[in-house]
Amino acid sequence: MNIFDSKMKEKMILDLHEVRIIDFGQFKLKSGIMSPYYIDLRLLVTFPHLLELVSDVLWEKIRLKPFDLIAGIPYAALPISTAISLRYNRPLIFMRKEKKDYGKGKMIEGIFHKGQHVVVIDDVISDGASKFETIKPIEEVGLVVSQVIVLLDRGQGGVQTVQKNGYHCIAITNMEEVLEVLYKHGRINYEQLMECQKFIIKTSSRVESKSLPKQKHASK
């Protein structure tokens, strides 16, 4: 990564915090646990200039590998992939979350042909399970997933899981880096930094102990 990239990334993180897309407080997650921070990239649509910045940062990674199509995943990543499609003039295909009961009932919309290479773009990755749900229908229609690019790695081993299954997977940034940048620029204080880091360690170790129960036993 060159200096220009990391400067752009730093600006992106600071801007996302400015408009409270990266927010600190007490938030209930899907799993029911409380989190000291929350990242809501769906808010991006209200800030077109930020949407462009995010798509530029993603593009710096996307352009490194040849591809034919960009796949947009509902919901948060859709506007991001649309922005990339429009800014860099690449065709977009659209994934459906729910099958509609009229029309042709296709899961993927847009123009595509068998054998084309697809870049899958998503906003966050946690344990990676939802990425396979996305990849499966793409491969079922005869497309090739050449890479999976996500903006933020939540640090729960998702990137590694996707890589292990033979896909090229990159996360632009992760939570540690976000916290580091925000702390460096005085956006969060030391207590907040510690609280968030503790939370990250707690949640990531929870995932590890779940997936590797035998090893833990042996070490005891």
Partner 1 sequence: MLDIKSKQKLIDLLASFGVISFPKAKDSNSLPYELKLQYLTSQPKILHFTAKLLWSVIKKETFDLIAGPYTDIPLATTLSLEYNWPMIFIRGARKDHGMGKLIEGNYSVDQKVVVVDEEVRDPSDTLQLLGRLEGSGLTVVGLYVLVDQGFGMLETIQSKGFKCEALISLNDIFVRLFETKKISPDQLNQAIKYFENKKITAYI
209 binds partner 1 (CB under 8 A): no
Q: Among the residues of 89-189, which ranges form H helices? A: 129-140, 158-164, 175-184
What residues contact 91, with CB distance under 8 A and at least 6 apart?
Answer: 68, 69, 70, 85, 110, 111, 112
111 binds partner 1 (CB under 8 A): yes
Q: Considering only residues 78-97, where is the footprint of partner 1 by CB under 8 A?
A: 78-79, 82-83, 85-87, 89-94, 97
* Least Å from the CB of residue 91 to partner 1: 4
* Least Å from the CB of residue 195 to partner 1: 19
Q: Considering only residues 8-27, where is the footprint of partner 1 by CB under 8 A?
A: 19, 27
Site map 53..82 versus partner 1, x via CB under 8 A: ----------------x--x-xx--xx--x
* Least Å from the CB of residue 147 to partner 1: 19
* Least Å from the CB of residue 144 to partner 1: 17
Q: At what angle do helices 175-184 and 190-211 cross, to 10 degrees?
A: 170
Please state, in angstroms and rounded to a whole number, the distance separating the CA atoms of residues 70 and 93. Answer: 6
Please state, in angstroms and rounded to a whole number, the distance separating the CA atoms of residues 171 and 158. Answer: 10
Please state, in angstroms and rounded to a whole number, the distance separating the CA atoms of residues 78 and 95. Answer: 9
